[in-house]
Amino acid sequence: MRPIDFLLRAAQRHADKVAVSGPEGSITYAELVEQVQALAVVLQHRVPAEDGRIAICAGNHIAHVVALFATLLAGRIWVPLNPRAGQAELRRIIEFTEAALVIAEDDQATKVADAGAPLMRYRPGGGQDDLSQAIERHRGRMPDAVYPGLARTQAIKFTGGTTGLPKGVMQSLRSWNACIVSIMHAMRLDEHVRYLAVASITHGTSTFLLPVLGCGGTVLLPASTRPRDVLDQLERDRVTSVFMPPTLIYGLLEDETVRRRDWSALRHFVYAAAPMRSDKILEAQEVFGPVETGYGQTEAPAIIAYMRAEEARDLRNLASVGRPALMTDVTIMDAQGKVLPPGEHGEVVVRGDLVMTGYWKQPDKTAESFHGDWLRTGDGGVLDERGYLYLRDRIRDMIITGGFNVYPTDVEDALGAHPAVYDCAVLGLEDDKWGEAVHGAVQLHAGAQVSEAELIAWVRARLDPVKTPKHVHFFDSLPRTANAKVSKKDVRQQILRRMQEAST
């Protein structure tokens, strides 16, 4: 079974039901499949090679969903291009993957037009554009049936690149199938699910589309991701399920209306993509109710582990990302590849159908990422005796100061709990005395004021002195990657630049 077959089967059962709805209108399952089939005919003609790569650079629109599913049905390889990324990065990915075709919405077309691949444009809402015209000309036609082996690459997705250059992760059809089934199982999805696709289709949302539609549910596309607009749509459209990064959740919780609204329809309020502070998890539970979390990475998409709402209510689990998902093995290893017992800290490693086949054109990087058939996630963590997984930062982010190990998330939890702090990041910088010194970077709530000394004292009162930042640096806005994570690489560079300027 191919990933696209989850949609095709659901369309047989729910032909007249709305599959996807957005600012430009709604589309039923039957109409969605008809457009996907028509466009797949075009893509097979324009990209005849079965391993041809089709890159898509677009926001969250119905046309984007159609283009993605048509790529899958055509049996071609999807290369998502983050529309927030800069022109140089987009062109590098197109050239590196040797994409045979680029599909882009009009607003993104100039960034990819001269990247060496033919371009197909569309306008959100349709009209006289390349995509709409191609679909209309081929409506009613069926593409050639393509049933590649499950080991074949379904997508090449690029890592966020918070450190170093992004790598192209090859996700197989088998990996997608494992992800779809695991999400269905973990979230107990059915035909009543109404999923709000706040996150970009090029990132987190893509992993939820087929699980939701495969169950006969409805995907809702937002007109805006401003916190007030998201709150309005969550309430108005009786959304049952949503996934968003912690930074957006913090914005929702800041809104003065959030506690006066009706959240009775919510079943899955999922945070992922970055750690969320414990105080904010508790606040979100108080406001929204069914807070859940998932843990995954591009190399093992979306759902290595999952925490259901009823489990998250147990305070023992507050810092956990849940237990291993249905089709994935998870354990903890030391640097030599030895499996560690429950309670001991090491690297989180994963195996199973979910795991990538490797990095595109980087066999050396692929080899470095495995202990046998175990994927090395690069995340430090602990499994407790109940099977719950607790992450303790990226292995390379751990700070060794004065001979002691300091995990940035511990310090971020304490620093971020100060009422003046909106968001924060903690990192180690080279220091003559300590080897590495703990530094904090904070973004304050609008209008809030607090001194560096006050924040240092706040952390010292809650943690060991060795974990207390030696310095705290203030940012009007913390730098972020294209998919909304705090970019510690950029935070580090800006702090070092400030320190250098202060010393001259």
Q: What is the pTM of this model?
A: 0.86
Structure tokens, 368: 């470095």
Instruction: Say how many residues make up the chain.
Output: 504
- What domains, with CATH codes, occur in the chain? 4-383 (3.40.50.12780), 398-503 (3.30.300.30)
Q: What would the DSSP string read from start to end of 401-454?
A: ETTEEE-HHHHHHHHHTSTTEEEEEEEEEEETTTEEEEEEEEEEPTT----HHH
> Which residues contact residue 65 at a Cβ distance below 8 angstroms, ignoring those fewer than 6 apart?
20, 32, 201, 209, 219
CA 365 – CA 52 distance, rounded (Å) = 23
Structure tokens, 103: 């599909």
Report which DSSP code applies to 340: P
Nearest to 416 by CA among 283, 279, 319, 312: 279
Strand ranges for 203-257 from DSSP E = 218-220, 241-244
Q: What share of residues in the chain are helix, strand, coil (percent, to 5)?
A: 35, 25, 40
Checking DSSP bridges between strand 300-307 and strand 323-324, what pairing results, if any? antiparallel
Residue 343 burial (CB < 10 Å; 0-12/13-18/19+)? exposed
CA 287 – CA 268 distance, rounded (Å) = 13
For the packed helices 29-46 and 62-73, what is the interaxial angle rounded to 10 degrees?
A: 60
CA 296 – CA 425 distance, rounded (Å) = 21
Residue 349 burial (CB < 10 Å; 0-12/13-18/19+)? buried
Q: Do residues 347 and 383 make contact, with C-beta atoms less than 8 angstroms apart?
A: no
Q: Do residues 195 and 240 make contact, with C-beta atoms less than 8 angstroms apart?
A: yes
3-state secondary structure of 268: strand
pLDDT in tens, the chain (504 residues): 999 999 999 999 999 999 999 999 999 999 999 999 999 999 999 999 999 999 999 999 999 999 999 999 999 999 999 898 888 889 999 999 999 999 999 999 999 998 889 999 999 987 789 999 999 999 999 999 999 999 999 999 998 544 446 799 999 999 999 999 999 999 999 999 999 999 889 988 889 999 999 999 999 999 999 999 999 999 999 999 999 988 889 899 999 999 999 999 999 999 987 778 888 999 999 999 999 999 999 999 989 999 999 999 999 999 899 999 999 999 999 989 999 999 999 999 999 999 999 999 999 999 999 999 999 999 999 999 999 999 987 777 888 887 777 889 889 989 999 999 999 999 999 887 888 899 999 999 999 999 999 999 999 998 888 899 999 999 999 998 766 778 888 999 999 999 988 887
